[in-house]
A and B are shown apart, each in its own frame.
Chain A
């Protein structure tokens, strides 16, 4: 595990309040930071605001006050175009419900970044996706994703998030639909492709195996968040 005191802050949250749809506060964070190059795990009971915070880090939850500094820029002050560019270039996201295009095959789903990326970069993304899918043991590349098993779909979603070579991977309950063995393999894969090569992994999870392997762990509950490791 890396030592957080030597790491550079990637995210710094200050006086951050996340609100519910109706406007009432869901989560308040006085001050917190997530260092670069580490595996940060957000844990806590359902409804504590784990996913809300994770997506706020991606610029997808703007129902908030306070600041989320990312590499020194306050996400709350960025336009939606700037946030989209940030997600495109720096963030990879694994959704809890995968959010795959069921009618597309595994390869097209995983190489989605190539659809809008520069032509010169498409070949690289596609080569990387080929390697990732092979590493993730997705052999059926031609069938629509609707025909894949839950585990396979999960791995395609991971491949898509890793394909962009983003410096940060945000994962929402990535092992939720996997058995213990497959879950452990997935954690290894995620870590190998992020913290293993100097990138950051931020995941929210109930899974003790994930919490166990994280560099820093933040617990959410009772409207607040505290670091437990």
Chain B
């Protein structure tokens, strides 16, 4: 019956309930112990007496917890940020080769040399009734370190969720990504090759006519130009501006005259059509793939590594926990005269046990709360660095599961804290311990 009730709850409700239990359980025990015994005067006295040791233990637990929080939060944020960045790229059609290379070059604009797709593939794509548009994507140049991407207005509208009748009026116009420093009216000269290459400057000038809204993708750090501008710069021909990626047969005919491009981004009328297109264009001359699927495969490979690192992080935390409990035990042994006095005064073993457990619990809870805070600050700092480094928007979120993991560790430590408490509390003292 309980199982049925539990299963009928949503996953987030289950997570919240687990977290509540994991937090309330130790707090409830701590509250019960404080009601039974008046421990806090002695606990605070001992904390004052061993200020440095207590601070070191709290910091140790805090750092171990923070590492776990940073790792778990960051891994999820990076995956989610990368997936979000690829979200708008429904289907990529590129020349046969590595899907990962195609993904990295097209979605994340990583400097990768992709073979060119023959123009016939583009023409074939445009002939498909279910294709809303098939936008050619060309890259390989940059301006002041920012990648220059050649494509069509359809893709810009799709990425920015903004409908414009025409993004470009002329072939020498450029759109500045939201994270670039370029302003409307700036004149830029493109340079051939990637930033790291020994590049040379093209003669053609481009004028920035718009700043694009934020897309949350790597394209926010790029300059978008008409694909025809790239062809012209590279001396592949002087083509008229045609910014429609789907369409009529005359456009299809003109596509056949165009040079090849590294990839096409295809947006179809529905998901079923996308699957058909993927099957159809996985052929001798082309390779079609879903970026999300490739990313997922990539994550599954990286995921195994992440699992190993995750286990290592937990093991490290466990070792830190054991080191902390050993420190508490040694600290308590150094206070054996105090415990001998309590023993002589008739303090019950349960009092002595509760005293040590509460002392350890205060350190563990303080360290865990500190670690949660440090972890959150660390995760945000790292996310900001990763966003800057990968140009993909990485936004860490502290989920219920993350907090539950920390709370689980806290509970495990509190259970382990019973061990030094029991070892010290069970000690029998004689008058020689205080005479």
Contacts and interface: CB of A to CB of B under 8 A. Distances in A.
Residue from A58, A81, A104 whose CB has the most chain B CB atoms within 10 Å: A104
Interface residues of A, number: 38
B275 interface: no
Nearest to A88: B346
Given A52-B431, A80-B428, A115-B39, A85 B346 contact: yes
A112 B435 CA distance: 20
Contacts of A87: 344-346
Contacts of A89: 346
A97 interface: yes
A113 B428 contact: no
Interface string A89-126: 10101011101011110001000111110010010000
B420 to A, nearest CB: 20
Given A55-B435, A84-B346, A108-B41, A115 B351 contact: yes
Interface stretch (B43-51, B63-71, B186-194): B43-51
B45 A104 contact: yes
A115 B38 contact: yes
Nearest to B341: A99
Nearest to B48: A103
Nearest to B426: A80
A60 interface: yes
A160 B41 CA distance: 15
B337 interface: yes
A119 B37 CA distance: 8
Contacts of B343: 84
Residue from A60, A95, A108 whose CB has the most chain B CB atoms within 10 Å: A60
A63 interface: yes
B397 interface: no
A109 to B, nearest CB: 9
A96 B346 contact: no
B432 interface: yes
A128 interface: no
Nearest to A112: B345
B431 A116 contact: no
B346 A172 contact: no
A132 to B, nearest CB: 16
Given A85-B346, A91-B346, A63 B45 contact: no
A38 interface: no
B337 to A, nearest CB: 7
A61 interface: yes
Contacts of A85: 346, 348
B42 A104 contact: yes
A172 B38 contact: no
Contacts of B377: none
B347 interface: yes
B232 interface: no
Contacts of B346: 84-89, 91
Contact of A62 (B342, B351, B430): B430
B343 to A, nearest CB: 7
Contact of A172 (B37, B46, B348, B435): B435
Contact of B348 (A51, A60, A116): A116
A72 interface: no
A144 B41 CA distance: 12
A104 to B, nearest CB: 5
B356 to A, nearest CB: 14
A172 B35 CA distance: 34
A172 B344 CA distance: 13
A58 to B, nearest CB: 7
A93 B41 CA distance: 21
B351 A103 contact: no
Contacts of B338: 101
A208 interface: no
B295 interface: no
A115 B358 CA distance: 14
Nearest to A55: B431
A21 interface: yes
A80 B345 CA distance: 13
A23 B48 CA distance: 41
B344 A115 contact: no
B344 A104 contact: no
B182 to A, nearest CB: 65
B299 interface: no
Contacts of B431: 51-52, 55, 58, 60-61
Contacts of B341: 95, 99, 101
21 contacts: A21-B432, A51-B431, A52-B431, A55-B430, A55-B431, A60-B429, A63-B430, A84-B346, A86-B346, A87-B344, A93-B345, A95-B435, A99-B340, A101-B338, A103-B46, A108-B42, A112-B345, A112-B347, A115-B347, A116-B351, A160-B345
Interface of A: 21, 51-52, 55, 58, 60-63, 80-81, 84-89, 91, 93, 95-97, 99, 101-104, 108, 112-116, 119, 122, 144, 160, 172
The 5 closest A-B pairs by CB, nearest first: A88-B346, A55-B431, A87-B346, A103-B45, A116-B351
